[in-house]
Amino acid sequence: MLQRLEPWGVSYIIGLKKNERLMQQVKLAPMALAEQYTAKKTKQLMFGQFQYAAGTWDKERRVIARLEHGEQGANPRFIVTDLPGSAKASYERRYCARGKAENRIKEAQLDLFDRRASCHRYQANQLRLLLAALAYTLMINLRRLGLKGTELAQACTATIRTKQLKTGAAIVRNTRRVRVLQASAHPMKHVFITAARALSP
Protein backbone atom coordinates (compact mmCIF):
# COMPACT_ATOMS: atom_id res chain seq x y z
CA MET A 1 0.00 0.00 0.00
CA LEU A 2 2.79 2.45 0.87
CA GLN A 3 4.43 1.81 -2.49
CA ARG A 4 1.13 2.78 -4.16
CA LEU A 5 0.51 5.92 -2.09
CA GLU A 6 3.93 7.49 -2.51
CA PRO A 7 3.98 7.68 -6.34
CA TRP A 8 0.45 9.12 -6.24
CA GLY A 9 1.60 11.88 -3.87
CA VAL A 10 -0.79 10.73 -1.12
CA SER A 11 0.54 11.34 2.38
CA TYR A 12 -0.10 8.74 5.09
CA ILE A 13 0.08 8.16 8.83
CA ILE A 14 -0.55 4.50 9.70
CA GLY A 15 -0.24 2.42 12.85
CA LEU A 16 2.31 -0.40 12.92
CA LYS A 17 1.96 -3.63 14.82
CA LYS A 18 4.54 -3.96 17.59
CA ASN A 19 7.30 -6.48 16.83
CA GLU A 20 10.77 -7.45 18.10
CA ARG A 21 12.64 -5.33 15.54
CA LEU A 22 10.67 -2.20 16.44
CA MET A 23 11.15 -2.83 20.15
CA GLN A 24 14.89 -3.32 19.57
CA GLN A 25 15.06 0.24 18.19
CA VAL A 26 13.80 1.67 21.50
CA LYS A 27 15.03 -1.00 23.94
CA LEU A 28 16.54 1.40 26.52
CA ALA A 29 13.68 3.92 26.66
CA PRO A 30 11.02 1.58 28.18
CA MET A 31 13.40 0.69 31.01
CA ALA A 32 14.05 4.37 31.73
CA LEU A 33 10.30 5.10 31.73
CA ALA A 34 9.68 2.19 34.11
CA GLU A 35 12.26 3.60 36.54
CA GLN A 36 10.72 7.07 36.32
CA TYR A 37 7.25 5.66 36.96
CA THR A 38 8.48 3.74 40.01
CA ALA A 39 10.01 6.94 41.40
CA LYS A 40 7.21 9.40 40.57
CA LYS A 41 4.11 7.15 40.53
CA THR A 42 2.67 9.09 37.57
CA LYS A 43 2.28 8.01 33.95
CA GLN A 44 5.47 8.56 31.94
CA LEU A 45 5.46 9.40 28.24
CA MET A 46 8.19 9.69 25.63
CA PHE A 47 8.23 10.25 21.85
CA GLY A 48 10.97 9.42 19.37
CA GLN A 49 11.56 8.62 15.72
CA PHE A 50 13.87 6.50 13.61
CA GLN A 51 14.26 5.08 10.10
CA TYR A 52 12.90 1.57 9.69
CA ALA A 53 12.09 -0.90 6.92
CA ALA A 54 9.91 -3.95 7.36
CA GLY A 55 10.94 -7.05 5.45
CA THR A 56 8.48 -6.39 2.63
CA TRP A 57 9.24 -2.66 2.26
CA ASP A 58 11.31 -1.39 -0.64
CA LYS A 59 13.03 1.29 1.47
CA GLU A 60 13.34 2.73 4.96
CA ARG A 61 10.59 5.05 6.17
CA ARG A 62 10.10 7.37 9.12
CA VAL A 63 8.65 5.59 12.15
CA ILE A 64 7.45 7.42 15.24
CA ALA A 65 7.45 5.69 18.62
CA ARG A 66 5.17 6.71 21.46
CA LEU A 67 6.34 5.00 24.63
CA GLU A 68 4.25 5.04 27.77
CA HIS A 69 4.51 3.48 31.20
CA GLY A 70 1.67 3.64 33.72
CA GLU A 71 -0.32 1.51 36.14
CA GLN A 72 -0.86 -1.16 33.48
CA GLY A 73 2.84 -1.31 32.63
CA ALA A 74 4.51 -0.51 29.32
CA ASN A 75 2.34 0.55 26.39
CA PRO A 76 4.45 1.22 23.27
CA ARG A 77 2.85 2.37 20.00
CA PHE A 78 4.45 2.80 16.57
CA ILE A 79 3.30 4.66 13.46
CA VAL A 80 4.82 5.16 10.01
CA THR A 81 4.36 8.44 8.17
CA ASP A 82 5.75 10.69 5.46
CA LEU A 83 4.21 13.82 6.98
CA PRO A 84 6.53 16.53 8.36
CA GLY A 85 6.48 17.73 11.96
CA SER A 86 7.76 16.67 15.34
CA ALA A 87 7.15 13.14 16.57
CA LYS A 88 4.89 14.34 19.40
CA ALA A 89 2.76 16.63 17.20
CA SER A 90 2.46 14.03 14.45
CA TYR A 91 1.23 11.42 16.90
CA GLU A 92 -1.08 13.53 19.06
CA ARG A 93 -2.51 15.98 16.52
CA ARG A 94 -2.65 13.85 13.41
CA TYR A 95 -2.63 10.16 14.25
CA CYS A 96 -4.86 10.40 17.33
CA ALA A 97 -7.31 12.56 15.39
CA ARG A 98 -8.36 9.42 13.52
CA GLY A 99 -9.94 8.26 16.77
CA LYS A 100 -12.45 11.09 16.47
CA ALA A 101 -13.30 9.98 12.94
CA GLU A 102 -13.78 6.42 14.18
CA ASN A 103 -16.12 7.68 16.90
CA ARG A 104 -18.21 9.52 14.31
CA ILE A 105 -18.46 6.35 12.19
CA LYS A 106 -19.43 4.37 15.30
CA GLU A 107 -22.14 6.92 16.10
CA ALA A 108 -23.65 6.52 12.65
CA GLN A 109 -23.49 2.73 12.83
CA LEU A 110 -24.73 2.15 16.37
CA ASP A 111 -26.90 5.18 17.12
CA LEU A 112 -28.44 5.83 13.70
CA PHE A 113 -28.57 2.23 12.46
CA ASP A 114 -26.61 2.64 9.21
CA ARG A 115 -25.58 -1.04 9.47
CA ARG A 116 -29.16 -2.20 8.96
CA ALA A 117 -29.00 -3.55 5.44
CA SER A 118 -31.35 -6.50 5.74
CA CYS A 119 -33.47 -5.78 2.66
CA HIS A 120 -33.25 -8.20 -0.26
CA ARG A 121 -32.71 -5.47 -2.86
CA TYR A 122 -29.55 -3.40 -3.21
CA GLN A 123 -31.51 -0.18 -3.86
CA ALA A 124 -33.49 -0.58 -0.65
CA ASN A 125 -30.32 -1.04 1.41
CA GLN A 126 -28.75 1.93 -0.34
CA LEU A 127 -31.77 4.04 0.60
CA ARG A 128 -31.45 2.94 4.24
CA LEU A 129 -27.80 4.03 4.25
CA LEU A 130 -28.68 7.38 2.68
CA LEU A 131 -31.40 7.98 5.28
CA ALA A 132 -28.93 7.18 8.08
CA ALA A 133 -26.42 9.61 6.53
CA LEU A 134 -29.14 12.28 6.35
CA ALA A 135 -30.08 11.63 10.00
CA TYR A 136 -26.43 11.96 10.99
CA THR A 137 -26.14 15.27 9.10
CA LEU A 138 -29.23 16.56 10.90
CA MET A 139 -27.81 15.46 14.26
CA ILE A 140 -24.48 17.17 13.60
CA ASN A 141 -26.25 20.42 12.77
CA LEU A 142 -28.60 20.09 15.73
CA ARG A 143 -25.57 19.78 18.00
CA ARG A 144 -23.65 22.56 16.23
CA LEU A 145 -26.47 25.11 15.91
CA GLY A 146 -29.24 24.18 18.33
CA LEU A 147 -27.36 22.80 21.30
CA LYS A 148 -24.47 25.28 21.31
CA GLY A 149 -23.86 26.56 24.83
CA THR A 150 -26.01 23.86 26.48
CA GLU A 151 -24.99 20.79 28.48
CA LEU A 152 -25.52 18.70 25.32
CA ALA A 153 -23.16 20.76 23.16
CA GLN A 154 -20.59 17.92 23.18
CA ALA A 155 -23.03 15.04 23.57
CA CYS A 156 -22.91 11.98 21.36
CA THR A 157 -25.76 11.11 19.04
CA ALA A 158 -27.20 8.45 21.36
CA THR A 159 -27.41 10.94 24.24
CA ILE A 160 -29.12 13.57 22.10
CA ARG A 161 -31.66 11.00 20.85
CA THR A 162 -32.42 9.80 24.37
CA LYS A 163 -32.60 13.16 26.12
CA GLN A 164 -34.12 15.34 23.40
CA LEU A 165 -35.84 13.32 20.69
CA LYS A 166 -37.15 10.17 22.39
CA THR A 167 -39.27 11.96 24.96
CA GLY A 168 -42.99 11.82 25.61
CA ALA A 169 -44.99 14.73 24.20
CA ALA A 170 -48.44 15.57 22.93
CA ILE A 171 -48.73 16.92 19.39
CA VAL A 172 -51.53 19.42 18.82
CA ARG A 173 -52.19 20.48 15.22
CA ASN A 174 -54.51 22.96 13.65
CA THR A 175 -54.62 24.68 10.26
CA ARG A 176 -51.91 27.20 11.10
CA ARG A 177 -49.43 25.53 13.40
CA VAL A 178 -48.19 22.39 15.10
CA ARG A 179 -47.55 22.52 18.84
CA VAL A 180 -45.35 20.10 20.81
CA LEU A 181 -46.51 19.89 24.42
CA GLN A 182 -43.88 18.37 26.68
CA ALA A 183 -44.42 17.35 30.27
CA SER A 184 -43.70 20.20 32.68
CA ALA A 185 -41.48 17.80 34.66
CA HIS A 186 -39.23 17.06 31.66
CA PRO A 187 -35.73 17.48 33.18
CA MET A 188 -34.20 18.88 30.00
CA LYS A 189 -37.09 20.96 28.76
CA HIS A 190 -34.95 24.11 28.88
CA VAL A 191 -32.46 22.56 26.45
CA PHE A 192 -35.25 21.61 24.05
CA ILE A 193 -36.60 25.20 24.16
CA THR A 194 -33.12 26.62 23.59
CA ALA A 195 -32.58 24.36 20.56
CA ALA A 196 -36.02 25.12 19.13
CA ARG A 197 -35.41 28.87 19.38
CA ALA A 198 -31.93 28.59 17.86
CA LEU A 199 -33.25 26.60 14.89
CA SER A 200 -36.40 28.62 14.27
CA PRO A 201 -36.35 30.84 11.15
pLDDT digits (tens, 9 = 90+) for 88-126: 999 998 898 877 777 777 777 777 776 677 778 888 888
- The predicted pLDDT at position 119 comes to 79
| pTM for the whole structure | 0.57
Domain ranges of the chain: 2-95, 101-199
Position 114 scores a pLDDT of 65
Res 154: pLDDT: 87
What pLDDT is attached to residue 39?
Answer: 92
pLDDT at 97: 81
Q: What is the 3-state secondary structure (H, E, C) of the chain?
A: CHHHHHHHCCCCEEEECCCHHHHHHCCHHHHHHHHHHHHHCCCEEEEEEEEECCCCCCCCEEEEEEEEEECCEECCEEEEECCCCCHHHHHHHHHCHHHHHHHHHHHHHHHCCCCCCCCCCHHHHHHHHHHHHHHHHHHHHHHHHHCCCCCCCCCCHHHHHHHHHCCCEEEEECCCCEEEEECCCCCCHHHHHHHHHHHCC
User: Which parts of the chain register pLDDT below 70?
Assistant: 114-115
